[in-house]
Amino acid sequence: SAVISQKPSRDICQRGTSLTIQCQVDSQVTMMFWYRQQPGQSLTLIATANQGSEATYESGFVIDKFPISRPNLTFSTLTVSNMSPEDSSIYLCSVPGGRGRTEAFFGQGTRLTVV
Amino acid sequence: DAKTTQPPSMDCAEGRAANLPCNHSTISGNEYVYWYRQIHSQGPQYIIHGLKNNETNEMASLIITEDRKSSTLILPHATLRDTAVYYCIAGYSTLTFGKGTMLLVSP
């Protein structure tokens, strides 16, 4: 299984500011996924980030609000821009299991509180 | 991804088998059945997946019906640490999470 490290693990931010979340994987992966989990809710896919191309966003999520970078095959960042209290959630990155494997593995998440 | 239906909650006594059902009646031929669990405040943990055949690993067993419209995750000897939300997902490259089943294992 892939080892995924997310930073920061948690943060408290002022409304109107932005936070960049980092996701580092211990192996090269083509696709990385970013999810949001709002309080008491299930996970919702924000976007799929492929190295060398623009991220693909799911319905309800836009690049201006959640810009994603994917500079190489082991790293990605998700920025939550112009934050409001409604952005308070756990943000998780995920990667596929590797060659020939379809299951996915998740980081421990970034718990964001916007005040 | 096909829609899945799971009971919102289940209870299990420690040491007994936990059998978690999932309905995925609209699953398509190339979609796998995946099970993940999420222990409070942690990232989801992969448990097991299968396409047609029953599968077993060190964590659990997955029983898929012959018509693939439903499946059951079996934790053979549940422990307190198995208390978590269990998600059943029918899909392929991307995962669509439903509400899952909250499994409470009690002493």
pLDDT (tens place) for every residue of chain A, 115 residues total:
789 999 999 999 999 999 999 999 999 998 999 999 999 999 999 999 988 889 999 999 999 999 999 999 999 999 999 999 999 999 999 998 766 667 889 999 999 999 9
Nearest 5°: phi and psi at A103?
A: -75, 160
Question: How far is Cα A70 from Cα A40, in angstroms, rounded to an integer?
Answer: 29
Each residue's pLDDT tens digit, B43-57? 999 999 999 999 999
Q: Which residue of A has its CA nearest to B31?
A: A102
Partners of A48 on chain B (C-beta within 8 Å) are 94
- Least confident piece of the model among A66-70, B24-28, B55-59, B90-94: B90-94
Residue B67, amino acid: D
Q: How many CB pairs under 8 A join A and B?
A: 46
The shortest CB-CB distance from B44 to any of A1, A31, A43 is to: A43
Partners of B45 on chain A (C-beta within 8 Å) are 106
Cross-strand pairs, B101: B86
Question: How far is Cα B65 from Cα B48, in angstroms, rounded to an integer?
Answer: 16
* Residue B71, burial from CB neighbour count under 10 angstroms (0-12, 13-18, 19+): buried
Q: Which residue of A has its CA nearest to B30?
A: A102
Please report the pLDDT score of residue B7 as a whole number.
98
Q: Which two tokens stand for residue B24?
A: 């995925």
CA torsion B80-B21-A39-B12 (nearest 10°) is: -20
Closest approach of chain A CAs to the CA of B43, in angstroms? 4
CB B32 within 8 A of CB B49: yes
